[in-house]
Amino acid sequence: MKLFNVYELFDIELVKAQGSYVWDSKGKRYLDLYGGHAVISIGHTHPHYVAKITEQLNKIAFYSNSVQITIQEELAYKLGELSGYPDYELFLTNSGAESNENALKLASFYNRRKKVIALKGSFHGRTEGAVVITDNPKIVAPINETPNVIFIPFDDVEALEKHLSTGEICAVIAEGIQGVGGVFMPSVEFWQTARQLCDKYDTVLIADEVQSGYGRTGKFFAHQHAGIQADLITTAKGMGNGFPIGGVLISPKFKATYGMLGTTFGGNHLACAAGVAVLDVIKEENLIQRAEKAGNEWIEKLKKIEGVKEVRGKGLMIGVALEMPCKEVRNILVKDYQIFTGSSSDKYTIRLLPALNLAQQEMDFFNEQFTACLEKVLVAVE
């Protein structure tokens, strides 16, 4: 049997990883500034992470949500403390899409409505509910189509008010910072208006922090830069540093009933061990403060590089917009400079989503190599 060919792949096989580096099967070392779609939060094969998962694997790897799994409680407690949402409850899932799927269901169970407001440029995942609130018709199959989603222009508070005032809207969902869309952060005004209007019209406010969460931007969740609380917060990616795990943080205004939500694998012992290890390291190594300081300084340096048009983002969620489409630049960075970066649906923007403990010298190294790479490409274009 062959694999269903849906991914455009680099001709590279990675066989080893440590910190912010990965090695291919030929022994070549690459600097990883992408973390496999923002997943590697505490660095590859972090010793505490490996030890925690190994220890758990030797005890029990999995049992379903039909018995007590106390490591789930440890994870929920530590997440509540570190994220500043100690009074929220946690539902554990396996991915970002599944987290969003469950958030939409919770919202709809809560106010019995169906319509959702999402933003232009959004990405929320590929499953039924998540894909229809994603602004990309190419990945929406006819079976997913629904009249229940309204896309408003990014950051448009007037459009938000116009639609919310009908009193028919179940939920507003926005990414803390749009990632796949090209690293665009909603304004403080947008989040604060959304909070106020959602309260007024009994609409549920969902912050999708699957990519922008877990300390990457200098707050645990990016929407916290606006000083508001969302009703539901969805997470995944950095939560497990590569082990599949996701979650929904749920405001006390939602009341759980047996059978309301469920999953076979979500919250399994091994995934929770990974999740606990990630939170331990984020706390012990002060990675949130580090990401904020180092990332914001890096952003200022990146802005000065010749060929860079604009740098967006916060902390270590960075979008570098070039004056030319970035596909070739990214390919050259991998081939000639051994550096992984990410693309986005804005073809001019490179995404940098490294581990939160990326060292200063690795940022400096990138700046040098990137400058040289852009010079080379600009000369070739002239």
Ligand X SMILES: Cc1ncc(COP(=O)(O)O)c(C=O)c1O
**Angstrom distances, CA of residue 13 to CA of 2, 7, 29, 202, 327:** 17, 14, 12, 50, 20
For the bound state, the minimum distance from the C-beta of residue 124 to ligand X, rounded and expressed in Å, comes to: 5
Name the residue nearer to ligand X (CB basis): 43 or 125.
125
Q: Which amino acid is at 216?
A: R
- Least Å distance, CB 226 to ligand X, is 17
- Residue with Cβ nearer ligand X (19 or 247): 247
CB of 278 or CB of 374, closer to ligand X: 278
- As a whole number of angstroms, the distance between CA 267 and CA 273 comes to 10
Closer CB to ligand X, 99 or 251, in the complex: 99
Residue showing tokens 């200063």? 360
Q: How far is CA 146 from the centre of its chain?
A: 25
Shortest distance in whole angstroms from residue 175 CB to ligand X? 5
Closest-by-Cβ residue to ligand X is 96
Q: What does the radius of gyration of the chain's CA atoms come to, in whole angstroms? A: 21
Contacting positions for ligand X (CB under 6 A)? 37, 95-97, 100, 123-125, 175, 179-180, 208, 210-211, 236
Shortest Å, Cβ 95 to ligand X: 4
Q: Assess contact for 276 and 74: CB atoms under 8 A.
A: yes
3-state secondary structure of 291: helix
Task: Specify the residue, 123 or 337, whose C-beta has the smaller distance to ligand X.
Answer: 123
Judged by beta carbon, residue 128 or residue 285, the one nearer ligand X is 128
- CB within 8 Å of 324: residues ≥ 6 apart: 307, 348, 377, 381
- Shortest distance in whole angstroms from residue 5 CB to ligand X: 19
Q: How far is the CB of 213 from ligand X (least distance, A)?
A: 9
Contact by Cβ (8 Å): 28, 341: no
Contact residues for 110 (Cβ-Cβ < 8 A; gap 6+): 204, 253, 254
